Amino acid sequence: MFGNLKKKLKGFFDKAGKEAETEEVEEEVLVEVEEELEAPKLPSKKKPKTTKKTEELEEEKKIEDSKAEKPKKKRSIFKKITRRHISEKSLDSILWELELALLENDVAKEVTESITEDTRERLLDADLKKGETAEKAITSALKAAIENTLDVGDLDIIEKIREKGEGPTLILFVGFNGSGKTMTIGKFAQVLQNEGISVLMAAGDTFRAAAIEQLDVHAKALKVPIVKQQRGSDAAAVIYDALEHAKAKGIDVVLGDTAGRSHADLNLMDELKKVVRVNNPDITIFVGDSLTGNDAAEQAKSFNEAVGIDASVLTKADCDVKGGACISISYMTEKPIIYLGTGQGYGDIEEFNPDWFVEKVFE
Ligand SMILES: Nc1nc2c(ncn2[C@@H]2O[C@H](COP(=O)(O)OP(=O)(O)OP(=O)(O)O)[C@@H](O)[C@H]2O)c(=O)[nH]1
Ligand SMILES: [Mg+2]
């Protein structure tokens, strides 16, 4: 998974590490040093012949204590130090290569620019630590920049469902044609059932031929109730009915399917807006096909703008995908990726963990 991004960045680091020129500069800096003052003169310490009295012992202890706290004063001196950092010229050419490596791996242009700029800021004028190679410094700067891009909060759907308590939680799945919405509904049904949460499927794709039958197959296979109407009926009404049914039967979650659509299809986008307006979903999930790479990020952005999404699921991560879509979708929507689809079986779904993703890319 994400082999290409890993391979590309590894190649980039090998090259960058070799080509990075470090620059050493000597600087005089003012540092404060602490200097001990002369210790106070102590009375000569002749051993008394007689046995010491308590007062004498206390006096001696005071003197010993004063020796321990020798007075210090601060003074400033100039000291020569050597700093080592990656030269600006070298950094420019490395970041150029990095930009290409990210673009070739489906990281969207504006995201690539943001990551390279962040990396530049982290490296420019930053001193290399003692013994730190340029390659190591570049890796950790880039890693931090990618982590920063993926750091858009988290959404725990199970917690959210349990928090809601009363009434069914509506989870609506939206996205482009064929991205994997219907299959993901099957996977979610199983994940939720395993948590003891009851589910109902709503056949909200009333547009595409055989879409209702397709959801029906999943419902039967998973022994989940389904609410459906005729093809061509109002999608908002189907989901509304499903919510009423779930309320009446005490079902915890309604998984709402919707027709695949492009943001350019204004009629279908209006229909989706109506579904959302009428039913006010608790969680709207954008389902993106990771094989479509960069396009998935653009789609996520436009669905987010049209109806507002809460999180994304990226499907087909089992195929030889480049990995950049994950980074781009998080950046473009500022909403977390919560699951990855990893196959065509109901169990082929994994929680998305940004830390794991970054480690995978850099391992
Ligand atoms: N390999 C793989 N295939 C997947 C995954 N998720 C979905 N698919 C397949 O992708 C195809 C499309 O999936 P659907 O669930 O029908 O997609 P959809 O978004 O509902 O499609 P429309 O309803 O036409 O918009 C099917 O053949 C699925 O089996 C995945 O994670 N991995
Ligand atoms: Mg579908």
Closest Cα to atom 7 of ligand 1: 180
Any ligand 1 atom below 6 A from CB of 260:
yes
Any ligand 1 atom below 6 A from CB of 350:
no
Cα(338) to centroid(ligand 1), Å: 17
256 DSSP β-pair partners: 172, 202
Q: What is the pLDDT of residues 98-138, one digit of tens each?
A: 898 889 888 999 999 999 999 999 998 788 888 888 888 88
- CA Rg value for the chain: 32
- Give the dihedral of Cα atoms 32, 36, 38, 43; nearest 10 deg: 150
Closest Cα to atom 26 of ligand 1: 180
Cα(346) to centroid(ligand 2), Å: 15
Which pLDDT does position 2 carry in this prediction? 63
Question: What end-to-end distance do the CA atoms of the chain give, in Å?
Answer: 13
Global pTM reads: 0.84
Any ligand 1 atom below 6 A from CB of 288:
no
Which atom of ligand 1 is the closest one to the Cα of 287? 19
Mutate to test the pocket of ligand 1, among 172, 176, 183, 346 (most ligand atoms within 8 A of CB): 183
- Distance CA(249)–CA(274), nearest Å, equals 25
Which pLDDT does position 141 carry in this prediction? 92
Closest Cα to atom 13 of ligand 1: 180
3: helix, coil or strand?
helix
| Ligand nearest to the Cα of 203, by number | 2
Any ligand 1 atom below 6 A from CB of 180:
yes
- Distance CA(131)–CA(138), nearest Å, equals 14
* Other CB atoms within 10 A of residue 299 CB: 25
Q: Name all domains of the chain by residue range, CATH numbers in brackets.
A: 8-29+79-150 (1.20.120.140), 157-353 (3.40.50.300)
Closest Cα to atom 21 of ligand 1: 178
In the predicted model, residues of the chain with pLDDT beneath 70 are 1-3, 36-52, 65-71
Which pLDDT does position 343 carry in this prediction? 96
Buried b or exposed e, range 307-325, using 16+ CB within 10 angstroms: bebbbbbbbbbeeebbbbb
Buried b or exposed e, range 108-143, using 16+ CB within 10 angstroms: beebbebbbebbbebbeeeebeeeeebbebbbebbb
Any ligand 1 atom below 6 A from CB of 343:
yes
Which pLDDT does position 40 carry in this prediction? 57
Closest Cα to atom 14 of ligand 1: 180
